[in-house]
Amino acid sequence: MIKTTRHAAEGLFKRPDPAEGSDAAKLQDFRSRQVLRKRETKLAEMQQRLEKRATDTVGLTSFFR
């Protein structure tokens, strides 16, 4: 039962097989750019959260003085 559930879950998150045909290269290029864009967005959001956290803690320390 555990193997069946795990196999089904892995299938949900598995990358689709590369397409065949004239647009396969375009699709692969699009997907790679999409992955890079997502990674950059994730890093930018993480940086914003860290900066906000740093500024919020400065405000709290001056508030409690």
**Residue 19 located in a structural domain:** no
Question: What confidence category does residue 25 fall into, taking pLDDT thresholds of 50, 70 and 90?
Answer: confident
What is the reported pTM?
Answer: 0.54
- Identify the band that residue 3 occupies on the pLDDT scale cut at 50, 70 and 90: low
Give me the sign of the Cα torsion angle 23, 28, 31, 32: negative
The predicted pLDDT at position 44 comes to: 96
Q: What is the mean pLDDT of the chain?
A: 80
CB 24 within 8 A of CB 18: yes
pLDDT for the residue 48? 94
Structural domain including 53 reads: 24-65
Domains held by the chain: number = 1
Residue 18 covered by a domain? no
Residue-wise pLDDT tens digits, 33-52: 999 999 999 999 999 999 99
Residue 42 belongs to a domain = yes
Q: Is residue 12 part of a domain?
A: no
Question: Which pLDDT value is given to residue 39?
Answer: 96
